[in-house]
Amino acid sequence: MRVFKTTAAVLFLVAVVMAIFDGPVHSQGQPRRLPADQANAAATRDANWTPGSVDLEGVPANDRTTYTFKTNVEPPAAGGPSNIAPGPANIAAPESAALQVMIIPDDGGGGGGGAICIQPQTTDAPTGFDDKTNGLIPQGTPVPDCTAPTPGTFLHDKAIFEEIETIDDGLGPVYNDKACANCHENPVTGAISQTVELRAGHTIGTTFFDAPGGSLINQRGIPTPNYDGSTNKSAKVQERVPPLYTAGIIGGGPAITAEEPTRTLRTSLNTLGDGFVEAIADGTLVAIANNQPGTTGNEVHGLVINVPVLEANFQTNPDCADPNLPCVRRVGRFGWKNQHGSLLSFAGDAYLNESGITNFLVLNENTSLGRFVGFGTPFDIVPDNTPCASSPNIICGEDDTQDIKVFAEFMRATKAPPRDPDIIAQYLNDVNAGASLFETMVINGTPYYSCSVCHVPSIVTAPNCTVINGGTFTVPAALANKIIRPFSDFLLHDVGTGDGIVQNGGQITRTKVRTPPLWGVRTRNQLMHDGVEETFNEAILRHGGEAASVISRYQQLTATQKRQLITFLESL
Amino acid sequence: MLPAGRISTTLLGFSLVLAMACQKRQSVSIDQSTKAETSKPAAATNPARATNEVAPPQSTSELQGVTARIYKEAVIVDNSRNDNFVVGDFNGDGSQDIAVVVKPGKGVLPELNSEYSNWIREDPYEVGKLAAHANEQQSIKKRKPTVVTAGDNLLAIIHGYQAAGWRDPKAMQTYLLKNAVGQKLSTERSESLLTDTANKQQLPPLRGDVIRETLNGIPGFLYWTGARYAWYPAEKK
């Protein structure tokens, strides 16, 4: 018996030591057998882009043709009051008056190799807060009362995006809200809301560590049974920023006493137009990052990170958890930390982390501060090993109907946020003057770069039939060759507002956040990543770091010029 | 060859099987295998935080020049006090910041309170009261706009920029604090505050150095929340 015990002890110690040196960063109290999904856990390795680390998807890394730092000046309406000459479209349609034909080489990537693709003209992407499709899928008809929606049309996909999840559907046990649309609804489904996400962890030196179970502290939990068998319900799975002295109420463990003082709130992001954002070639984002230092005297340098494409890896290396297996990556562009590069990955991650519903891309149920509360405990009645209804060979978890594919299709089919034509018409002079200041500030007769070097005004999406997302998606005509006006570079920057949280981009991203797209910013009255700023002026002044020079020039503007710049923002 | 993760998992599993075989009785509650371990309190701030040291202002004129760089004539340095400035890395970004006691200039209240001013006005005493609630930044949003009035004692905090800190001409980000000037201004490294404070868990999350003050007769400190300066009364009554 003693030999057994000694052997067990030695093997245990060896295993623990190996695990410590091999594993990702976790907080002290987090059991390792309950990994958070990759986008919700601090990565140990920086995932920044290097040449050759991702497929540039047809755009060279030094490209200057698929984006511009120039801001469009709006043409006056007939008889309008503008005294500023209308500018040309800053990204001209490149010899695209006639339809172009592109032959896709057979690269074995599953993207329709050898197919002939008709290239649509390079045109502005459709915009509108009108609940209409961008053309990717048919508009369809409204869902009849008492009828389940059928995926495939905009209105039915939208209805599924708006669907309220229940505990029987797999909601929770911890979650933030019951429907995608609850956090993405102002002024239409898919847009923003005032809902915020809470994240926490702690920092030692320059290294961030997750709170137990991951940095996301879910705002809500489902009702939980009491151990005495009474019919009364309680709220045992509710997460909070530690300490949690009563942690032992689940699992019988000791109190969680470690503080997690690195905290932040994150406002809900807009998803309208995200299909176009997904269709931006990796090379375009890399090129923007490569060209920023030269444009700004090395002051602005957006960071590109490569993040796993979950749908390209889920069968071979789920969550890319095994560093010894191949992991298909793409340039991140979705989420405050650019933690995703594809909309399907984004949808799968959000379904788990925001609604608590496991799905074929992320099958590990969320914990309550690291305490397992998934199926098999009294807190979760829906198993996570259910096969997909349409693909029995694939485990779909609680999302057996693969709703995440519908969410992704809905987001891909949305129009981009529109500007307000009436504001532009009525305040044209100020809007145009503000647009000019957004692009260039002239101080003492010298022109300087301005906001648009990060809040990039125009980007062109990849051509029709471009294979993206690690070979799992081909850019369709409805999203191809579209000029979008997101006012973002979709890169990570340190402008002094970094929230200190690390997700899957590595520690290099600790003090950085993604440049928030300003399209639709007029629908927000709580600004910046944490929603703390209530006015545009305060939000601008809060920028520092890489933006310090631009802000110091903003501070030299006259009150009239500042008002014009803000008027321009109010038109976006 | 097996990856290290698989080997460690295998060894761990094997050792646990052996260990369990030694037990007389197995009693597995639903979550026994996932017990959270007792954790040591994490450092409430970054103990390895390094700040570029910058020499303090060499003269009152330099002090006035620093504030004038941003405020022009909107504020005047209060030279009636010996302790009219402190330096430190208040926002924890590695650049040295400066906090200067100032008064409103003559006839500039509209400019000081302008919607388009170059500074963010706030009352850290109000922020601090709100921050006492659990969800700090959410509470901050409920604050009322801060209005500067004639005769106010104000604290102008200028965030430093890179190695030159507050001396850098690009150090233009500034917060103008009302109700933040008391009897004795000093600064303290958050690390020493954590060392000296008996009950660290009562401290708010600290990101940088704190500005010690006594407001309304109560000693405490001003600290950076990540978005605002808040007041924390160190001695609660």
Q: pLDDT band for position B62 (50/70/90)? A: very high
Share of chain A above pLDDT 90, in %: 80
Q: Which two tokens stand for residue A160?
A: 């599924």
Using a CB-CB cut-off of 8 Å, the residues of chain A touching B159 are 496, 544
What pLDDT does residue B195 have? 75
Q: Which two tokens stand for residue A20?
A: 């410590």
In a domain, B25, yes or no: no
- Residue B57's contacts (CB-CB under 8 Å, 6 or more residues apart) are B63, B66, B85, B98
Nearest residue of A to residue B18, measured between CA atoms: A8
The average confidence (pLDDT) of chain A is 89
Strand order in the sheet with A67-68: A67-68, A458-460, A482-484, A123-124
Using a CB-CB cut-off of 8 Å, the residues of chain A touching B170 are 548-549, 552
| DSSP symbols for B199-211 | -GGGSPP--S-EE
Most B CBs within 10 Å, among A203, A512, A528, to test the B interface:
A203
What pLDDT does residue B199 have? 63
Residue A75 has pLDDT above 90, yes or no: no
Nearest residue of A to residue B44, measured between CA atoms: A261
d(CA A39, CA A321): 11
Using a CB-CB cut-off of 8 Å, the residues of chain B touching A370 are 34, 36
Mean pLDDT of all residues in A192-211 = 94
Q: Is-contact A258 B37, C-beta < 8 A?
A: no
Q: pLDDT band for position B206 (50/70/90)? A: confident
Match 């006259």 to its residue by tokens.
A558
Q: pLDDT band for position B47 (50/70/90)? A: very low
Which structural domain range is residue B68 located in?
60-233
**What crossing angle do the helices spanning B4-22 and A2-22 adopt, rounded to 10°?**
150
In a domain, B55, yes or no: no
Using a CB-CB cut-off of 8 Å, the residues of chain B touching A241 are 134
Using a CB-CB cut-off of 8 Å, the residues of chain B touching A237 are none
Using a CB-CB cut-off of 8 Å, the residues of chain B touching A33 are 33-34
Residue B48 has pLDDT above 60, yes or no: no
Mean pLDDT of all residues in A126-131 = 98
Match 């260039």 to its residue by tokens.
A440
In a domain, A493, yes or no: yes
Rounded (to 5) percent helix, strand, coil in chain A:
25, 15, 55
Q: Which two tokens stand for residue A220?
A: 């809500």
Give the alpha-carbon dihedral of A344, A346, A351, A357, to 10 degrees: 70
Residue A207 has pLDDT above 90, yes or no: yes
Instruction: Examine the predicted complex and report whether its ipTM is higher than 0.85.
Output: no
Contact B42 A19 (CB under 8 A): no
Most A CBs within 10 Å, among B22, B31, B51, to test the A interface:
B31
The helix (run of H) or strand (run of E) holding residue A161 is helix A154-161
Q: pLDDT band for position B131 (50/70/90)? A: low
Using a CB-CB cut-off of 8 Å, the residues of chain A touching B3 are 322-324
In a domain, B29, yes or no: no
d(CA A110, CA B230): 56
Q: Which two tokens stand for residue A101?
A: 């034909």
In a domain, B24, yes or no: no
**Pick from A18, A545, A559: which is nearest to B8 by CB?**
A18
| Bridge partners for A442 per DSSP | A447
Most A CBs within 10 Å, among B2, B8, B27, B97, to test the A interface:
B8
Q: Is-contact A84 A564, C-beta < 8 A?
A: no
Contact B173 A551 (CB under 8 A): yes
| Bridge partners for A522 per DSSP | none
Chains A, B: CB contacts within 8 A come to 231
Which structural domain range is residue A445 located in?
67-126+418-499+515-570
Domain count along chain A: 1
Residue A324 has pLDDT above 70, yes or no: yes
Q: pLDDT band for position A15 (50/70/90)? A: very low
What pLDDT does residue B142 have? 53
Domain count along chain B: 1
Mean pLDDT of all residues in A522-540 = 95
Share of chain B above pLDDT 90, in %: 54
In a domain, B204, yes or no: yes
B19 to chain A, minimum CA–CA distance in Å?
Answer: 6
Judge if pTM exceeds 0.80. Answer: yes
What pLDDT does residue A274 have? 98
A223 to chain B, minimum CA–CA distance in Å?
Answer: 18
What pLDDT does residue A102 have? 59
Residue B5 has pLDDT above 60, yes or no: no
Residue B200 has pLDDT above 60, yes or no: yes
Q: Is-contact A137 A158, C-beta < 8 A?
A: no
In a domain, B169, yes or no: yes
Mean pLDDT of all residues in B39-57 = 60
Residue A69 has pLDDT above 80, yes or no: yes
What pLDDT does residue B134 have? 40
